[in-house]
Amino acid sequence: QKEVEQDPGPLSVPEGAIVSLNCTYSNSAFQYFMWYRQYSRKGPELLMYTYSSGNKEDGRFTAQVDKSSKYISLFIRDSQPSDSATYLCAIGDNYGQNFVFGPGTRLSVLP
Partner 1 sequence: DTAVSQTPKYLVTQMGNDKSIKCEQNLGHDTMYWYKQDSKKFLKIMFSYNNKELIINETVPNRFSPKSPDKAHLNLHINSLELGDSAVYFCASSQGLGDEQFFGPGTRLTVL
Can you give the binding site for partner 1, defined by CB under 8 A?
A: 31-32, 34, 36, 41-46, 49, 86, 88, 90, 92, 94-101, 103-104
Q: How far is the CB of 105 from partner 1 (least distance, A)?
A: 10
Contact by Cβ (8 Å): 54, 5: no
Query: Of the two residues 14 and 41, which places its CB atom closer to partner 1 in the complex?
Result: 41
| CB contact set of 53 (below 8 Å; sequence gap of 6+) | 65, 66, 67, 68
Q: How far is the CB of 44 from partner 1 (least distance, A)?
A: 5
Query: Of the two residues 12 and 18, which places its CB atom closer to partner 1 in the complex?
Result: 12
CA distance 89 to 37: 9
Query: Of the two residues 49 and 61, which places its CB atom closer to partner 1 in the complex?
Result: 49
Q: How far is the CB of 32 from partner 1 (least distance, A)?
A: 6
Contact by Cβ (8 Å): 74, 62: yes
| CB contact set of 57 (below 8 Å; sequence gap of 6+) | 63
Q: How far is the CB of 64 from partner 1 (least distance, A)?
A: 18
Query: Of the two residues 32 and 76, which places its CB atom closer to partner 1 in the complex?
Result: 32
CA angle 85, 65, 14 (to 5 degrees): 35
